[in-house]
Structure 1
């Protein structure tokens, strides 16, 4: 570890906490915080109350602090809980850290808090939250107001997508900073049936190709579109869906689609998988990867599929096209997906070049080495009485979904 005259403290708040047991923000928080610690920063991360689990004070050198109330089961109360959690985190972070990195803007009405303590506040807005179908019209309106408030109070907006940067710069007359998510090359993981969840142990082997989807199961991730397109296609390969539902209503809708299907295709829901080796094993051995995210900017699960040299079939929108460019096949609806699936099934050798293109794109544009240099430069530039902090590049991978 290097010795420093000046050691900046940074709080990363707004995710559910680490270790990652939820999705993209959490995986990103885990990787970025550990990178910062290895480069001499003192790092704090906010965490939701872990329930019956223990509350460690540190994880791999990262200091953890917890909201003292457990997350409620009901969705409406859950939204209030998340705002209170963020407000609590803002107070704690403002006391402990010099710089605060806020992920999401649901509590933007309280973004003045760091100002009271003379602290620097960065905001990662996480895409267009007000476009998410899980929110009703009233919540979407409040999220639009929150977006505006966030852009007013934050010292800098950090956009993980060039399209998001363009939107904020134009709408709010800003000069936001573009820093994407990162992904790292993963060495081959040996296939191990014992690592699989029980629902897969007797149905999937390394010799049986399958389609794979990793995402939170919610409307804007187009789970319904993918399932309908898969059902309409001619493939006989199973579809493995990794992720948890965020809405009982959407779960019922998906179950109706699956229950009304009377064919011989196999659709397997595994629930969330957060063991990195298991996720890597599934990604490395799938026939192709299906990606339906549509509103969240650069998505970590997409980068991870690309760096695994998968053939990627992605929903046709500005964010996915920015990331993949010509290294993926695109679909807008179930019928288009059906056509793409059939073409890849019929002539997989025609799409081998897509694998190498996807891999090269991540290595060139989204490597963790490159991303961390950008964050180091950003945080270093705001150290009071700063001294040069050398970079000790440490590549790791994010996990889960956004």
Structure 2
């Protein structure tokens, strides 16, 4: 029996998932790949109380680092996780570039293989100051130049890596089929009175690049449909300002972060329309999830969102375009758009497809050689039937 490859997964808050996109990715990679690989997942000791900390989950070993996985501490968190993983793991799958500033040194000293998912151009996000952006850009450069394999989650991001660094990357997106239709629970109507009415929904962090202000400005003038935005309103200055400015409108519902996936799916799956305002990053998990729920998508017009939806969604660049789309919506158009989104999601954005792509990449890196530096661009992530069988 062949010995399982030991893989350390670094850069997420941890599992079971209780936070965001990378966490959901790790959650389902473990569920799909723990039988094929010896997985060790690094988790934030700040995010899991002592009584919540498991030594093993779904066949993966869990290690806790006593730092936050996000924000300024993410650099030390990732570096300490990598140093620990280098003791026992053959492959390090690193999510994000924060700790990659040390990658050139690690490559000189250690023989292990590094696979880096560079996320979505973190250095471009408006929330970062000048120094933070310079640091993240430098870390991204180190990741691309010194990793054995780079993963990008969107074709536009893959093209960026090819043009900026003359380097290839493996295109692997996210799955969204863990979400599902949830019928309206009448007992929750007092808390969510918009259920059963026409409403648009959006799930996003309260950051400027997610265009919450633009969307709220339009709905402050347009009251033919309720607006529901689920966000961490009180966690950021931007969120608190928006709540103070728009929270008094009766048809606008600014809902705090929902940890219960069943309730979140209820709000999303019964919505008339899903609004996606993300302007930074690659393939966004919340967009893929909305597509899997068969929701019509009205998205901010950036290349990442066009690639994710194969140009089949509706797009807006400003308040005027958004208002115009809302005024022109019809039940037939919404139904057709929802069907298109669902079809795309089932073909490209399922965890079976994503896990198979990661498994193939891990085996290829272990077998060597690494990618050529000559960029080869792909389209949407390929469905499972289009992928070659991975050797076991």
Shared fold (TM-score, shorter chain, > 0.5): yes
Cα distance in 2, alignment partners of residues 32 and 104 from structure 1:
16
For residue 96 of structure 1, report the CA deviation from its aligned partner: 2.5
Cα distance in 2, alignment partners of residues 51 and 351 from structure 1:
41
For residue 17 of structure 1, report the CA deviation from its aligned partner: 1.3
Q: Deviations over 1:310-334 (max 9, x none)?
A: 1111000000000113431111122
2:119 equivalent in structure 1: 126
1:41 equivalent in structure 2: 37
Q: Whose RCO is larger (CA < 8 A, sep 6+)?
A: 1
1:221 equivalent in structure 2: 210
Query: In the alignment, does 2:84 pair up with 1:92?
Result: yes
1:379 equivalent in structure 2: 362
SS of residue paired to 2:309: helix
For residue 205 of structure 1, report the CA deviation from its aligned partner: 6.0
Query: In the alignment, does 2:261 pair up with 1:254?
Result: no
Q: How many residues align?
A: 366
Change (3 A) 1:384 1:203: closer
Contact 2:233 2:243 in 1 (8 A): no
Contact 2:32 2:352 in 1 (8 A): no
Query: In the alignment, does 2:50 pair up with 1:59?
Result: no
Change (3 A) 1:51 1:365: closer
Structure 2: runs of 5+ lacking an equivalent: 369-383, 385-392
Change (3 A) 1:145 1:10: same
Q: Deviations over 1:60-115 (max 9, x none)?
A: 2221111124x49xxxxx74311111111111121131111111111221124653
Contact 1:229 1:336 in 2 (8 A): no
2:371 equivalent in structure 1: none
Deviating above 4 A after TM superposition, structure 1's stretches of 4 or more consecutive aligned residues are none
Question: Normalization by structure 1: what TM-score?
Answer: 0.84
Cα distance in 2, alignment partners of residues 219 and 130 from structure 1:
14
Query: In the alignment, does 2:154 pair up with 1:161?
Result: yes
2:299 equivalent in structure 1: 314
SS of residue paired to 1:373: helix
Query: In the alignment, does 2:221 pair up with 1:232?
Result: yes
Out of 308, 327, 352, the position equivalent to 1:342 is 327
Aligned ranges for residues 21-32 of structure 1 at < 5 Å?
A: 21-32=18-29
SS of residue paired to 2:120: coil
Structure 1: runs of 5+ lacking an equivalent: 73-77, 386-392, 394-402
SS of residue paired to 2:86: helix
